[in-house]
Amino acid sequence: MTVNYDELSKQVLDLDPKVRFAGVANSKGEMIAGGQKENIEKILDGENVKMSIHYALQKRDHYTNLAYKLGKEQSSITEYAIVTMISIPINSNDLFLISTEPRTDYLKIIDFIHATLKNSE
């Protein structure tokens, strides 16, 4: 069974009112699913969004280099003053990206995504 990334993104957007963005980027840095929650002011746009995706992919690549010692990366969370960025590797090509308001229960979001992806295997 294959996961519909657009549907999963919508479910994540609906999971918590503090979720601002949920989507999937491929290894080329292109958004292939998901998007911003409606009626939410964008914090990043244009080139800054591309740069953010690039950094998330770069971080995943760095953690992949340590996988032989630490195990496979499960998620990465970066808390900024005005937003929390979460990335979850889906496979070797795709990365699930989420941004939330600060102090959101991001473990609930991460657990939901992991359970959904596991149930689709």
Is residue 20 within 8 Å of residue 83, measured between CB atoms? yes
Give the residue among 78, 97, 118 at the shortest CA–CA distance from 25.
97
pLDDT, tens digit, for every residue of 48-92? 888 888 888 888 887 777 888 888 889 999 999 999 999 999 988
Amino acid identity of residue 73, one-letter, is: E
Query: Average pLDDT of 103-108?
Result: 93
Q: Cα Rg for the chain, rounded, in angstroms?
A: 14
Phi, psi of 109 (to 5 degrees): -70, -45
Q: What confidence category does residue 17 fall into, taking pLDDT thresholds of 50, 70 and 90? A: very high
- N-term to C-term CA, the chain: 6
Beta strands in 1-121 (DSSP E): 19-25, 31-36, 76-79, 84-89, 95-100
The pTM of this model reads 0.90
Is residue 60 within 8 Å of residue 52, measured between CB atoms? no
